[in-house]
Chains A and B, each alone.
Chain A
Amino acid sequence: MNLETKLTQTGSIFPLALITLTSVLVLTLVLVSNSFTLKESSKYSLDKLEAGSLAEAGIDKAIASLNVNPSYNGEPESALGQGSYSVAITSLDPNNKVVEATGYVPNKSEAKIKQTIKIQVSKGEGISFPYGLQVGEGGLIMGNSSILNGSVYSNGNIAVGNSANITGDVWVAGGTQPAADQSADCSVPNCADYLFGKSISGENRLDVAQSFQISQQTIVNKVSLKLKKFGSPPNITVRILEDNNNKPDKSKVKTSGTLSANLVTGSYGFVDVSFSPTPMLNPDTRYWIVLDTSGDPNNYWSFDMDTLQGYNAGSPKWSSSWQASSPVWTAISGDFGFNVYIGGVITKFTGGNSAVVNGDLRANTIQSITVNGDAYYQSISGATVNGTSYPGSIDPAPEVFPISQSNIDGWKADAESAGVTEEDLTYGNSCNITLGPGKQIGNLTLGNSCTITVTSPFWITGNTVAGNSLKVKLPASAGASSGVFIVGGTMVIGNGCENFDCGFKGSGTDGSYLMLLSTYDSTETGTPAITAGNSSFSGIFYAPKGSVSLGNSASFKEISAWKITTGNSAILSYEQGLSGVFFSAGPTGSFSVVKGTYQLK
């Protein structure tokens, strides 16, 4: 073999190198391609979420716009952030609309990603009933051998007879003095709006405060504030602060509570705010009620203000931020409408022989009961606690009822505007009639087994007497909305039926309820506002100043009343807490989302 031959021979390294490099190149290209696919997939996911967020922004914009201008009918395209959204409104009727909002990334004409959300909005008010059985200062009285299947929250005393049994937890709130300790209000023409929760004439009035002093050393159970709202502002946190040189001391917060925006309407009314814990305040010492809003130019508040400054123990101020490092508080000429209610009324739970509470029991004073859960109290006698005892416990705070007088006034106004007629209405057995919407001045008398279809709101000003097996319902067209049947006088209902077949029923759609609302004042007459017979009743019974007297074996959906009494051997059962009961004819006149209608398309 010569050198020339050797130099021209093919080696094995070069092909191997060629194969390896080709393989590496191919794999690298495939990997890069897949990486781009992953990047695109991740970008798609993020853009899809962004398009969804843009569509939700469109929904929020639509609701806010409808509450400012009910004839708002959508918008073709509005830029926001990295994309845009469009809104289309379809009116089902003046109070119900379908809102369809679409989010686009990057914009509508060159949309790579879009996401549509469709909801229904309705003009009304959503109200929650957190307790199946809520009792006011009148308290709860249960006869011998009666049974309550569930829990109860009472702002007044609870007395149960021998062998009575409550299967759930019991709260007896610390008692509130019936009259306000401090009060300020105005009389026309010396009333003025004081707008806050937005910027007014260059004043960023996000937080407002009213100072006050109480007459004795005691706890403050609640305040009530005379407010109205514009649009749909969110709930407000209300705090009681100590004073520092005639302004609220941000570092000394005594307590706080929540003012539920649902309780405030577009007309002035006093709305309660309870505090937990209930603060102990000193007499002749200045304290401040501070309302802390988030600020929204379209959804804000107004205090009813006494321009004569009739309250001598305090005055109002505003600030752009009560929590700023050095908060600036500016004086306001006038006095806000408010009441301060102090406690100091001893409340108690009184049992009888062999009476039992199976859950926890919280009350200032506990007497003659077996508590199978824990017991929280200041004083106890004749009781057996099988759980843990907590002597020296602070009284539970009084619970504010879920519907305010402003709400009720709004429903009454709606009923009145729907038409007023004046005559007594009398119907015989097995009647099948329609009532409402409107205000009926007179009494209503119904025979046995009557069926009434009520278009809400309906307000009967006088007394109502109904026979057995009464069925009152909303029309099917009410859909998921709830309605209200207002009775100004007393209401007596005969026996109900098995399986909740009688009583007050919604439209048949899930989430629809008909509330029997009694405005009768039992605190003055002692006469029950609502008297119901035996068996079961569907619907919601609400009597903020009335007492409800129930027969034996009463079953119900929800009762909130100033006072509730039962006979002996009664069995009370209820559905635990109703959240978001949505009334089609709401007092606020604002649009909000109908729950259950959110759809991604």
Chain B
Amino acid sequence: MTNSRGWSLVEVLIVTTVAAVAGGLLINLMISSNRLFFDQSAHITQGLALNQTELELTELIKSSAGIAVQYPVSGTPQYTSNSNTLVIKLPSLSSAGDVIESVYDFAVVGPDNVNPAILRKQIFKDASSFRKTENKVLSTNLSNLTFNYLDSSNNATSPALAERIGFSIELATKSGFSEKMSSGSGTVNLKNL
């Protein structure tokens, strides 16, 4: 004999409610997990870009033979040293990697001319130099970049007279309705002055 007794209305309601709550919690968990993932991924990506940028900037400034007012040094400037672009004079290198006296390559670090969210490092070499040319994107999320030109007493001075460079970088990424920011800063002495 089969049991033909069905679910009571109360049982059905309880099961439905439990299922709805459990489902809602699971969907909420998935959404939260995704949001956390994208938020943290943005921070991590920014952190990696910041590390790389700060390291490359530090090495460039340390090795530089001075800050150039503009590049090219004569004629119409393509790049000018100012509060958000840095034009660095680098000693040219021979095939043996030694400094060639009185010959210079140039590095430009600053926002891309077309898309200011792109932070770009470019190296332009003298014809006699064996330094590698570069055109490298350091970040695609640049929000703010500031260079401060300082003398040995940390007073503000013109780029041509700078003995130390202070820099601050802010990267920003859209994450849903919010914006994630990461920032870094430093001050580096020009070792070749």
Contact = CB atoms under 8 A, between A and B. Distances in A.
Interface of A: 1-3, 6, 11-13, 16-17, 19-20, 23-24, 27-28, 30-31, 34-35, 37-38, 41-42, 44-45, 48-49, 52, 479-480, 509-510, 595-601
Contacts of B5: 3
Interface stretch (B56-64, B75-83, B138-146): B56-64
A597 B64 CA distance: 10
A30 B37 CA distance: 8
Contact of A16 (B6, B26, B52, B63): B26
A38 B41 CA distance: 10
Nearest to A16: B26
A38 B47 contact: yes
Point out which of B6, B33, B59, B193 has the most chain A C-beta atoms below 10 A from its C-beta: B33
A27 B101 contact: no
B2 interface: yes
A13 B63 CA distance: 62
What are the 5 A-B residue pairs with the smallest beta carbon separation, nearest first?
Answer: A598-B191, A27-B37, A20-B26, A24-B33, A34-B44
A38 B26 contact: no
A599 B27 contact: no
Nearest to B54: A45
B99 A599 contact: yes
A165 to B, nearest CB: 26
A13 B22 contact: yes
Given A510-B102, A600-B59, A600-B63, A31 B54 contact: no
B101 A13 contact: no
B99 A596 contact: yes
Contact of B4 (A2, A42, A49, A596): A2
B33 A28 contact: yes
Contacts of A597: 99, 192
Interface of B: 2-7, 19, 22-23, 26-27, 29-30, 33-34, 36-37, 40-41, 44, 47-48, 51-52, 54-55, 58-59, 62-63, 65, 91, 97, 99, 101-102, 191-193
Contacts of A599: 63, 91, 97, 99
B33 A601 contact: no
A595 B26 contact: no
Contact of B63 (A11, A31, A598): A598
A11 B26 CA distance: 15
Contacts of A19: 30
Contacts of A34: 40-41, 44
Contacts of B97: 599, 601
A53 B172 CA distance: 31
B1 to A, nearest CB: 11
Contacts of A1: 6
Point out which of B27, B51, B54 has the most chain A C-beta atoms below 10 A from its C-beta: B51
B30 A23 contact: yes
Contacts of B44: 31, 34-35, 37-38
A397 B150 CA distance: 27
A11 B3 contact: no
A31 B44 CA distance: 9
Given A16-B26, A44-B51, A596 B91 contact: yes
A24 to B, nearest CB: 4
Contacts of A2: 2-4
A300 B164 CA distance: 29
A49 B30 contact: no
Contacts of A13: 19, 22-23, 26
Contacts of B41: 30-31, 34
A598 B51 CA distance: 23
Nearest to B26: A20
A48 B55 contact: yes
Contacts of A27: 33-34, 36-37
A480 B192 CA distance: 13
Given A37-B48, A45-B51, A509 B102 contact: yes
5 contacts: A12-B23, A34-B40, A35-B44, A48-B55, A599-B91
A480 B101 contact: yes
A41 B47 contact: yes
Contacts of A12: 19, 23
A503 to B, nearest CB: 20
B33 A49 contact: no
Contacts of B51: 38, 41-42, 44-45
Nearest to B38: A27
A17 B48 contact: no
Contacts of A24: 29-30, 33
B30 A596 contact: no
A38 B182 CA distance: 13
Contacts of B101: 479-480, 509-510, 596
Nearest to B59: A600
Contacts of B59: 600
Nearest to B64: A598
A37 B193 CA distance: 36
